[in-house]
């Protein structure tokens, strides 16, 4: 038997360590989170994506009384980006969340289906998507590509 150890690298930055592009993208995610439609979870998520041409798009989560019909902010956003900018790679994705009625930002991390969706974007455009995730302590996790969050994904074994 051989043991295989997997390794992920995440960077945690203080607000001062963010560059202006990162700061602006996170700020857009924070603003759009206020438009979340989340009457069932009361968990308001905002996501903003930077495309390689400098365009920024954003989305919040949109829920449904039939829970599986609702969608996470990231998945809606990447679907919209792919549909409207089919030739332009998403290169950076900021994600923030806040519980209704709370002042502070909540811890958040993309769900499994969203990780798979981010992976598809990387596969489609041949470019890693850097994730920026706002933490409740005010710091930001910077993750350079979905492989750090989705080891042993399907296309690690299937080169197509
Ligand atoms: N949600 C997102 O939109 N993005 C995430 O990264 C985590 C979860 C949404 C799904 C659901 O509307 C609510 O947050 C609670 O899970």
How does pLDDT run across 135-150, given as a tens digit for each residue? 999 999 999 999 999 9
Q: Map out the domains of the chain as residue ranges.
A: 11-148
Q: Which residues neighbour 65 within 8 Å (Cβ) at sequence distance 6 or greater?
A: 40
Ligand 1 is surrounded, with C-beta below 6 A, by 38, 41, 43, 45, 61, 63, 70, 72-74, 95, 108, 110-111, 114
* pLDDT digit string (tens) for the chain, length 160 residues: 999 999 999 999 999 999 999 999 999 999 999 999 999 999 999 999 999 999 999 999 999 999 999 999 999 999 999 999 999 999 999 999 999 999 999 999 999 999 999 999 999 999 999 999 999 999 999 999 999 999 999 888 876 6
The architecture that CATH gives domain 11-148 is 3-Layer(aba) Sandwich (3.40)
User: DSSP assignment, residue 52?
Assistant: T
pTM given for the model = 0.96
The CA-atom distances, in angstroms, between 145 and each of 10, 11, 104 are 10, 12, 27
74 is catalytic: yes
Alpha helices in the chain (DSSP H): 20-33, 73-84, 112-125, 154-157
The CA-atom distances, in angstroms, between 60 and each of 1, 119, 158 are 46, 20, 32
């Amino acid at each position: 038997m051989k043991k295989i150890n997997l390794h992920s690298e995440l960077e945690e930055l203080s607000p001062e360590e963010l560059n202006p592009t990162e700061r602006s993208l996170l700020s857009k995610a924070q603003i759009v989170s206020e438009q979340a439609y989340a009457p069932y979870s009361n968990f308001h998520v905002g996501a903003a994506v930077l495309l390689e041409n400098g365009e920024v798009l954003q989305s919040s989560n949109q829920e449904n009384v039939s829970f599986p019909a609702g969608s996470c902010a990231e998945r809606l956003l990447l679907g919209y980006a792919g549909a409207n900018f089919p030739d332009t790679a998403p290169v950076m994705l900021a994600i923030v969340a806040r519980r209704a009625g709370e002042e502070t930002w909540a811890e958040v991390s993309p769900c499994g289906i969203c990780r798979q969706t981010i992976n598809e974007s990387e596969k489609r455009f041949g470019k890693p998507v850097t994730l920026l995730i706002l933490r409740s302590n005010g710091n930001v996790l910077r993750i350079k590509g979905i492989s750090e969050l989705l080891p042993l994904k399907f296309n690690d074994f299937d080169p197509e």
